[in-house]
Structure 1
Amino acid sequence: MATKNIYYLVGLLIIITDVVAGILSIEAEIAQNKAKNLRVWILECRDPSHEAFKLGLAATILLTLAHVTAFMLGGCICIWSKEELDQSSNNKQLAAASHVLSWVIMVIAFSMLISGTLSNSRSRQNCGISNNHLLSIGGILCFVHGLFAVAYYISATAATQEEKKLKQPASATAAANA
């Protein structure tokens, strides 16, 4: 019973971390939009926002923390061949699919958050092609990442428990026959 509570707490921790990262990155976008800027068509000159930099950096760190938590505590569930995919349980298949999707979303969200954060790190005015909404889109992807990371954690944990249950009766039968 206590281990089930731990699984719920870890899943909740992953979701909360990703949600906070998403909220912080949206707040960073709001702080960035409050900075002075001059826009002509697609070119934009604006002063960097230190507040947006801090919030974007915190969001990036929290996204990474949520990802590491899900994959370190969920374990490694890998499927190496089509035959193994066909023979694996539904939990293992779900874990493998959410593993891939979570990594793809993580890479995209991380890249967007880093780009948005770095655009606010300069100590001078920045002019160039407008890169609006990097932080807010990265924040939305943090929410999506939370869903796939929790799906991975839950299905990987369930697949590991299934494999342990399948191995226990086999070892008990072998010991009884000896």
Structure 2
Amino acid sequence: MSRLEKLHKDLGPILCILIMVLDIVAGILAIEAEKAQHKVTHARLWIFECRSPSHKSYNLGLAASIFLIMGQVTANLLGGCIYIRSKKELEEATANKKLAMGSLIFAWIILAVAFSCLIIGTTANSKSKKSCTILHTHFLSIGGVLCFIHALFSVAYYVSAAAVAREERKQHHPQAAPASV
């Protein structure tokens, strides 16, 4: 049994909880950043908004971005490398391998969108003085909600990748056949 397989077996549930906690903390921080952003003074005129930046919102948004990335890195490093190179390999892949690939693809897509939203919301609060720009509303809260969805796909990837590793180990190292009587 390899180290990674032993890690999956012994600490699998704890690692799933760790991935969930990282993404949930990211989501909560992003929503709190949105709340802090709405507490600063601002004025709106059609699609333009003039407001003072919120240092608290900036810090919370930055922390949310870091936690989101930590969740993705944790799931990818501990889940291992699962890939499908051809259509033939896709057709022959097990359900766990297809689930792992699908979860990985969706986790990366959601990561890209959530991280972009968090960065847009965070940089809107990075300026040192009042500014007037096109409305940047709700980017932080949208990013926060996407962090929760990212948690689901990251855990699905980790669990299915661990199952693929077990399947491949059994396929390459079958148990010795029992002696017949």
Q: TM-score range by the shorter chain?
A: over 0.9
Mapping 1:29-68, distance limit 5 Å: 29-68=34-73
The one-letter code matched in structure 1 to 2:161 is A
Q: Name the structure 2 match of 1:10.
A: 15
Gaps of 5+ in 2: 1-5
2:42, 2:113 → 1: CA distance?
27
2:8, 2:101 → 1: CA distance?
23
1:25, 1:121 → 2: CA distance?
15
Q: Cα distance, 1:5 vs. partner? A: 4.1
2:118 paired with 1:113: yes
Q: Cα distance, 1:35 vs. partner? A: 0.5
Structure 1 ranges of 4+ moved more than 4 A: none
1:124 counterpart SS class: coil
Gaps of 5+ in 1: 174-178
Q: Cα distance, 1:4 vs. partner? A: 3.1
Q: Cα distance, 1:101 vs. partner? A: 0.5
Greater helix fraction, Structure 1 or Structure 2: 1
Q: Name the structure 2 match of 1:84.
A: 89
Q: Name the structure 2 match of 1:122.
A: 127
1:135, 1:72 → 2: CA distance?
27
Report the CA distance shift for 1:3/1:81 in structure 2 as closer, same or farther (over 3 A): closer
Using the aligned pairs only, state the percent identity.
51
2:173 counterpart SS class: helix
The one-letter code matched in structure 2 to 1:6 is L
Tell whether the 8 Å contact from 2:100 to 2:161 is kept in structure 1 after alignment.
Answer: yes
- Residues 122-151 of structure 1 show CA distances to partners (whole Å, capped at 9, x for unaligned) of 001120111100000000000000000000
Mapping 1:88-103, distance limit 5 Å: 88-103=93-108
1:151, 1:10 → 2: CA distance?
12
Q: Name the structure 2 match of 1:176.
A: none
1:145 is aligned, of 124, 145, 150, to: 150
1:115, 1:156 → 2: CA distance?
32
Q: Cα distance, 1:42 vs. partner? A: 1.1
Report the CA distance shift for 1:2/1:130 in structure 2 as closer, same or farther (over 3 A): closer
* CA-atom RMSD in angstroms: 1.5
Tell whether the 8 Å contact from 2:29 to 2:60 is kept in structure 1 after alignment.
Answer: yes
The one-letter code matched in structure 1 to 2:37 is Q
1:139, 1:103 → 2: CA distance?
16
Q: May I ask how many residue pairs the two structures share in their alignment? A: 172
